[in-house]
Amino acid sequence: MPKLIIFSAPSGSGKSTLVCYLLQQGLPLQFSVSATSREARGKEKHGVEYYFLSPAEFRERIAKGEFLEYEEVYTDKFYGTLKSEVDRILNEGNNVVLDVDCVGGVNIKKIYANRALSIFVMPPSIDELRQRLEKRGTDKPEVIEARLKKAEYEMSFAPQFDKIILNDDFDRAKTEMLKTVRNFIEDN
């Protein structure tokens, strides 16, 4: 029976890089594409990077109960996981990889229980997180401060996850994550 692997972490913790690495390891995994109400950026395509929905369409789908989890990050800027996307992947016989926020990760784990493995990618410290976000050079100082405050809040959810992977050494974190996921999907 196919399973779910849920990844959550504060921004800048290295979660997306770890997920990309995992998906390149030849395991029977498929990434769940999230939905958003924001506009596509650059060369993003509907159904590839995200399912792009209007805010009204997103609200309509919320009302119909079509999301496993969702969040309104800013006014009219929603992100969420469509049940239909996860069901499609599971019905094809594939294990699902989800990259969701901490609250969403906890909620999806509750729904799927032992069929899901929830992994929290922990940054080494708030100071290290600050350095990583500053090195990216994509955010203004006030945005970085807001992300760091949110990160502290998100880190409080770590004990609710099945596995915490400290990303203080990327090679070690990759090895630990791969072993954890491989053991989980191979365990019947």
pLDDT of 188 reads 65
The range of the structural domain enclosing residue 120 comes to 4-186
Beta strand 116-122 with 35-36 is: unpaired
Query: What is the per-residue DSSP string for 27-39?
Result: -SEEEPPPEESSP
Distance CA 35, CA 53 (A): 7
- CATH number of the structural domain spanning residue 125: 3.40.50.300
In a 3-state reduction of DSSP, which class is residue 105? Answer: helix
Which residue shows structure tokens 């090895």? 175
Amino acid 123 reads: P
pLDDT of 60 reads 97
- Successive 10-residue mean pLDDT values, the chain, 188 residues: 95 88 96 93 88 96 96 88 96 95 93 97 89 84 88 93 96 97 90
Domain count, the chain: 1
Distance CA 180, CA 120 (A): 12
pTM of the model: 0.90
Q: Are 181 and 96 in contact (CB under 8 A)?
A: no
